[in-house]
Amino acid sequence: MKFNKYHGAAISAFIIWGFIPFPLKALAGFPSSQILYFRILVAVLTLLAVSLTVRRQYWQETYALVKSKNAVEKRRFFLFTFMGGGLLTINWLAFIYVVNHVDIQTGSFSYLLCPILTAALGFVLLKEQLRVVQWLSVGLSLMSCLLVGTDSLYNLLFSLLIASSYAFYLITQRLLKEYDKIVLLTLQLLLAFLVIGPSYPWFVGEEAQPVTGFFLGQIALLSWLFTVIPLFLNLYALKELKSATVGVLMYLNPIINFTMAFVYFNEVASERKIWAYVVIFLSVMLYNLPIGKKKKKEAVVQ
């Protein structure tokens, strides 16, 4: 496999995402819902600004594509776009809360679990086939969940919430794969903000803190550096790389999270949790082994 600028873009995106606990931890004194509210607001305003300037063509193409569909396919587009916005909102809120009020390990574990859970959901909902080694990987993932659950059911439930919300989100994206990803994301966040935007006092609650310059600076960092920029890098990488290649590289994110949790933030784990992390790492390695893959007549060199 030849390393190129598309590999660099994908690696950069996942490395950036790997350091997302830093701006979240800096905002630990603010309610998770307040962080989420402003993260969505700044991200959607940024994406709309980009859309109205350098990406207008993609919006026109998406509009034309939706317009060309029949009534059933149009309803499907709007349904899965709205669902995607809801799932992404739940995922972001849960991850922010877990990093700031539970531990980084729990958030990292969920994103190691997520690709395997997505594959299992793809088999159930989309009839996508799994190889034998991938089924073994699913079994090992269940074992790791049992280990975490017997140590802390509370942590396991949060891991499953984060992993399942993002896994279902990815399923909705597969069902809308013919549409531009950034256009979809902008629509999803816009719809999400249209729901939560008018209800700031209710959504954030009585724990809302004064909006300071420090808060807005960290939100800008979170929305631009840790949301919009890696999304564009990831989209750029997907233009040339196989989704399977990007899928392997995405494990950089939770690996960096785990490293920071233990080395920088001095988190500790019980022996049972450590065994659970070892099992989930083994399941990830097993899932990505090429055993059982059908050889293609034409090799694709990347």
Q: Is 80 within the bounds of a domain? A: yes
Amino acid identity, position 218: Q
Q: How far is CA 49 from CA 13, 45, 54, 184, in A?
A: 21, 6, 9, 15
pLDDT attached to residue 231: 87
DSSP for 214-276, please give it: HHHHHHHHHHIIIIIHHHHHHHHHHTTS-HHHHHHHTTHHHHHHHHHHHHTS-----HHHHHH
Q: What are 74-128's pLDDT values in tens digits? A: 999 999 999 999 999 999 999 999 999 999 999 999 988 888 888 888 888 888 7
pLDDT, mean of residues 259-280? 90
Residue 124, C-beta contacts closer than 8 angstroms, at least 6 positions apart: none
DSSP designation for 302: -
pLDDT attached to residue 205: 82
Integer Cα distance of 249 and 302 in angstroms:
14
pLDDT attached to residue 300: 31
The CA-based angle 66-71-73, given to 5 degrees, is: 55
Q: Is 88 within the bounds of a domain? A: yes
pLDDT attached to residue 170: 86
* Residue the block writes with tokens 């034309």: 64
Q: Is 300 within the bounds of a domain? A: no
pLDDT, mean of residues 151-166? 92
Q: Is 249 within the bounds of a domain? A: yes
pLDDT attached to residue 244: 64
Kindly tell me if the per-residue pLDDT of 198 is higher than 90. Answer: no
Residues, the chain: 302
Q: Are 203 and 33 in contact (CB under 8 A)?
A: yes
Q: What are 49-72's pLDDT values in tens digits? A: 999 888 899 999 999 999 999 999
Domains: count for the chain = 1
DSSP for 44-98, please give it: HHHHHHHHHHT-HHHHHHHHHHHHHS-HHHHHHHHHHHHHHHHHHHHHHHHHHHH
Q: Is 180 within the bounds of a domain? A: yes
Q: Is 171 within the bounds of a domain? A: yes
For residue 100, the SS3 value is: helix
Range of the domain at 150: 5-287
Integer Cα distance of 48 and 189 in angstroms:
10
Residue 62, C-beta contacts closer than 8 angstroms, at least 6 positions apart: 179, 180, 183
Q: Is 301 within the bounds of a domain? A: no
Q: Is 14 within the bounds of a domain? A: yes
Read off the pTM. Answer: 0.89
Q: How confident is the model at residue 301 (pLDDT cuts 50, 70, 90)?
A: very low
pLDDT attached to residue 4: 81
Between 71 and 199, name the one with better pLDDT: 71
